[in-house]
Amino acid sequence: MTTNLSVNINKIATLRNSRGENNPDVEKVAVDCEAFGADGITVHPRPDERHIKRDDVFRLRPLVKTEFNIEGYPSPEFIDLVMKVKPEQVTLVPDNPDQLTSSSGWDVEANFDFLCDVVDRFRDAGIRTSIFVGTDPDNIRAAARAGADRVELYTKPYADGFDRDPEAAVAPFVEASRAAHRAGLGVNAGHDLNLQNLKFFHDRVPFLNEVSIGHALISDALYLGLHETIRRYKECLA
């Protein structure tokens, strides 16, 4: 099956915001990413707007022609934004408002009723919903019972263990993806995937619909250029 590459452009907005002007241009970068081969654009608008701002999300909506994925904690403000923008996909993450970056997946059972309510709202609006999780099969099955369309596997543990023992690092993700597939879920993955570890992950993990990559890809683009960087990431998914 084909695995899509969704480019997270948050770090472009972080760089722009550091000067308070419009350089680099987040909208142009999103359009260029698609032109260079990206299969989707991901944004994670946080409450403090330290990178992607709410206005960015509204401006990007008519520009993104592939797949628009909005990720974030489903606060009332986030839910309102998603319902107004109507992206193709929303990814629910359990981040605190002041969290630097995502550091774990949901405990779905402990938040089951809450997640069910959120997923129901997005489903009724025709928005595909993915729940950010670790590799525990029971937790993944709970995400299916909550009504999610997909799970996104939190891949930092894989990235951390890759250099030491790649087979051992990827094994839980192989089983998690199989568990998700058996439960009727699509499978996304993201966090700390890069040009060194992505191909191995892709070749080992079955049923992988999409990877979402931001920090590493944008960092590589500083050296390789955005066009060449996206080409190389797509090559890892070939």
Q: Which residues are catalytic?
A: 44, 71, 191
CA separation for the pair 116, 47 (Å, rounded): 23
How many residues in the chain? Answer: 238
CA angle 196/189/80 to nearest 5° reads: 135
Cα 174 to chain centroid, rounded: 18
Question: Quick one: 174 exposed, middle or buried, by C-beta within 10 A (0-12, 13-18, 19+)?
Answer: middle
Q: Give, in order, the Cα–Cα distances in Å from 23 to each of 14, 18, 37.
A: 10, 10, 22
Sequence-ordered list of residues with C-beta below 8 angstroms from that of 113, at least 6 positions apart, any chain: none
Helix (H) or strand (E) holding 64: none
Both tokens of 122, joined, read 């997005």
The answer to whether 198 and 168 have CB atoms below 8 angstroms apart is: no
The answer to whether 61 and 30 have CB atoms below 8 angstroms apart is: no
Amino acid at 163: D
Radius of gyration of the chain (CA): 17
CA separation for the pair 140, 5 (Å, rounded): 22
